[in-house]
Structures are given as C-alpha cells and as structure tokens.
Amino acid sequence: MEQEFDPLRAKMHERAIGRWENEGGSRASSTHPEEPPTIIGVVGDAEEVNIRVRLIALENIVVALLAHGPESHLELVREMARYISPRSGTTHHRLTVEAARNMLAIVDRAGSYREKADRGTL
C-alpha cells in the first residue's frame, strides 16, 4: 500500500532524527578516552539500574499501547524504523540499525498481544 508524500510527516521524521543526533546518539555513550566527556557526566551504578528498569517499563507500556491501538500506529512505527534504517550508499550506524530492529521487535510483540486479544486468550 503506497502512501503519498506527507511533508508534515517528513518534517516530524527529520526532527526525530535531529534529536537523536543532537541529544546522545553514540557520543553520549562513548567510552573512548580520546573523546571529550559529555555534559551529563558519568552515570553511577544505581542510576544505571534505575534507567534500565524505567526503560523496560516504558518499553512494555509502548507494547501495551500498540497492542490495543489502531493498526495505523503499528504502521507508523514500521515506517519510522524504515526511515531510520540506513539507505543504500550510506554509512551504517550501529545504534541506529539496532534502534530500527528494536522498533520492529516491539511492533511484533504488540502484534502477538493483539492476536491473543482477538482469540480471547488474553
């Protein structure tokens, strides 16, 4: 199903990618000593555990919301994953590739919950 070009959606995609590049990307998580330290500084063990727990919670919330939302939401996430995936002739950025893969995995998880709900086994 081919969608027509939507300039507003394209602008939203550009802003999302810009935030990724400006607010972290690979620089904030870099452990290379030759790179300057980030503004945030070093995250302690307790903070890292808290961040991981919160990330797991948020991921599961997103799965639940997608599982009960319209199919258009699932398609929007798939579209964004395609958008951030490296295009032919570009450099593959490991974190972006992994983010796209994770987005599709979340959509798949939501899809399995949708199927269970449709069968009445949820």
Ranges of each domain in the chain: 7-119
pTM: 0.60
55 pLDDT above the threshold of 60? yes
With bands split at pLDDT 50, 70 and 90, how would you rate the model's confidence at 7?
A: confident
With bands split at pLDDT 50, 70 and 90, how would you rate the model's confidence at 115?
A: confident
- Percent of the chain past pLDDT 70, that is, above it, reads 73
Which of residues 47 and 104 earns the better pLDDT score?
104
- Does residue 19 come out as left (phi exceeding 0), alpha (psi in the -120 to 50 range) or beta? alpha
- Does residue 120 come out as left (phi exceeding 0), alpha (psi in the -120 to 50 range) or beta? left
